[in-house]
Amino acid sequence: MTDQEWMRLALREAREALAAGEVPVGAVLVKDGRLLAVGRNRREAGGDPTAHAELEALRAGAEALGDWRLRGCTLYVTLEPCPMCAGALVVSQLDRCVFGAADPQKGCCGSVYDLPADPALGGRCRWTAGVLEAECRALLDGFFRARRAASAPG
């Protein structure tokens, strides 16, 4: 499958997050052309600040492999990883991260900072930005637009 096809699966997970009232971010973890794990935001449901889509997918992938080292794996995620998630990419020894929409406020795969490439941390996780960016961005923008409208004084 292509990067775009894997990202479509991540978008499916993001839509599931949206349906559950979460910020619509989804992720899929792939190794050797095989789907290992999926994840989506679950912070609201679990009251867990670390329940980001990326971490959900990385945890499930490590369990599926029986190893915390995710060498040879690629993570597809609809939004650029935050500092916490970008750090997880590094410590899990992930080979590659592919994301859709950049996050100019918190993104740590090139927008605010390039944590995976920091030589002090090993700098081994490559990343690719902008895969199905318009679709990923539209889902997020729609969610936040609806949230703002719901909280506006009426």
Catalytic residue among 13, 22, 54, 56: 54
Q: What distance separates the 2 farthest-apart alpha carbons in the chain?
A: 52
- Count CB neighbours of 119 within 10 A: 7
Per DSSP, the three-state class of 93 is: coil
Active-site residue flag, 80: no
Measured CA to CA, the distance from residue 102 to residue 111 in angstroms comes to: 7
Cite the active site residues: 54
